[in-house]
Amino acid sequence: MAPQVKVAILGSGNIGTDLMYKILRDPGHLRLALMAGIDADSEGLARARALGIPTSHDGISAVLDDPEIKIVFDATSARAHVRHAPLLREAGKIAIDLTPAARGPYVVPPVNLGQHLDEPNVNLITCGGQATIPLVYAVSRVTPVRYAEIVSTVASRSAGPGTRQNIDEFTFTTARGLEALGGAEQGKAIIILNPAEPPILMRNTVYLVPAVAFDQEAVIASVEKMVADVQRYVPGYRLKSPPVFDRRSTPWGERVVIAMLLEIRGAGDFLPPYAGNLDIMTAAARQVGELFAQHLLGIREEAVA
């Protein structure tokens, strides 16, 4: 059996529970040693117990009590993570933050994961960021991007109270991620909740205004490669068509705008397949955890499952 690193999930809600199933289905170098919540009666903790995973409803303290736990996935809330971050750091644990707290650098696996393996805390931005930043980066690595705008449309049922009460944070954080990681000079993010029944799959539109005249074939090839890279950890990630090139008037004059229509079908590990927005967060978290584990174990350049 492959050597493994002990990890814990903090937060036994929908995200934490989906992540638990993802790790159990494909553990790689991760051994799930603890699922910690604050509600003894939560469905997530009950499911973990039924699967033989040690649980605690005492929040972060059980995580801190076990020195062998080296990596902690925080799927609680931004406010809770602000409190957790220094405690985890003092305890020498790596925090993979699925909340919008942003205590550590932003990480999107196929874009910059390798750069932050010595950080004690990394942040996964937002679902819209995990979905669209790879595509923005795919273009900006072949031609400079003046402006990136993304529209994320998610099923109403997949937007929990945290998202609903903090919708502005989605907008700010995603826009910053488009700039910091996507490489766009200026980023803008829009989120729309759609209550259609049956629920719609997560849909994202990425519009890019390149800074200069560009090679359309090079853009298409770079985007195709990136989609394949993301599909390695999010199998339901797909463009609905090749990039569309459309002439539009912009503040920078009449420009060829690149439009990409992205759809994400979740793996359905725990959450329903339409919730691709949540699936890409837990899939990215597992992927980031795996790479940290390999790094801790001194394994180099192993193909990441």
Partner 1 sequence: MRGPRVTDTTLRDGSHAMKHQFTREQVRQIVQALDAASVPVIEVTHGDGLAGSSIQYGFSGTPEMELIETARLEASRAKIAVLLIPGIGTRQELREAAQRGVQVVRIATHCTEADISEQHFGLAKELGLETVGFLMMAHMRPPEFLAEQAALMESYGADCVYIVDSAGAMLPDDVRMRVRALKECLSVQVGFHAHNNLGLAIGNTLAAIAAGADQVDGCLPGLGAGAGNAPTELIAAVLDRLGINPGLDVFKLMDAAEYVVAPIMPYQPIPDRDAITIGYAGVYSTFLLHARHIAAEFGLDPRELLVELGRRQAVAGQEDWILDVAVDLARAEQKVACPRSGRATDRDERSSQ
Output the smallest distance, CB 123 to partner 1, in A: 20
Stretch that binds partner 1, among 117-125, 137-145, 178-186, 191-199 (CB under 8 A): 191-199
> Annotated catalytic, 58?
no
Instruction: Tell me how far apart the alpha carbons of residues 259 and 81 are, in angstroms, rounded to a whole number.
Output: 35
Among 24, 38, 46, 151, binds partner 1 (CB under 8 A): 151
Exposure of 180 by Cβ count < 10 A (0-12 exposed, 13-18 middle, 19+ buried)?
Answer: middle
**Measuring CA to CA, how many Å separate 55 from each of 43, 58, 67, 75?**
12, 9, 16, 15
Residue 107 or 239: the one with the smaller Cβ distance to partner 1 is 239
Per CB under 8 A, 196 contacts partner 1: yes
- Of 23-31, 137-145, 166-174, 266-274: span binding partner 1 (CB under 8 A): 166-174
**List 52, 217, 241, 254, residue binding partner 1 (CB under 8 A):** 241
10 Å Cβ neighbour count for 217? 9
- Tell me if 145 contacts partner 1 by CB under 8 A: no
Name the residue nearer to partner 1 (CB basis): 82 or 259: 259
Q: Which of residues 68-107 bind partner 1 (CB under 8 A)?
A: none
State yes or no: residue 257 binds partner 1 (CB under 8 A). yes
Q: From the list 168, 217, 254, 301, which residue makes contact with partner 1 (rule: CB under 8 A)?
A: 168
Residue 207 near partner 1 by CB under 8 A = yes
Contact (Cβ atoms closer than 8 angstroms) between residue 288 and residue 109: yes
Output b/e per residue, 134-166; b: 16+ Cβ within 10 A: bbbbbbbebbebbbbbbbbbbbebbbeebbeeb
Q: Which of 4, 89, 144, 156 lies at the binding interface for partner 1 (CB under 8 A)?
A: 156
Residue 302 DSSP label: P
- How many Cα atoms within 13 Å fall on the side-chain side of residue 14? 17
Q: What share of the chain is helix, strand, coil (3-state, %, to 5)?
A: 40, 25, 35
Binding of residue 160 to partner 1 (CB under 8 A): no
Total residues at the site for partner 1 (CB under 8 A)? 39
C-alpha span between 240 and 201 (Å, rounded): 12
User: How long is the chain?
Assistant: 305
217: tokens are: 């074939």
222: Cα separation from own chain's centroid: 21
Question: Is 209 an interacting residue with respect to partner 1 (CB under 8 A)?
Answer: yes
Indicate which residue of 69, 88, 127, 209 is catalytic: 127
The answer to whether residues 16 and 73 touch, using CB atoms and an 8 Å cutoff, is yes
Instruction: Candidates 77, 153, 174, 287: give the one binding partner 1 (CB under 8 A).
Output: 153
Residues acting as catalytic residues: 127
**Which residues of this chain interact with partner 1, rule CB under 8 A?**
147, 149, 151, 153, 156, 161, 164-168, 170-172, 188, 190-197, 200, 203, 205, 207, 209, 240-241, 244, 246, 248-251, 257, 259, 261
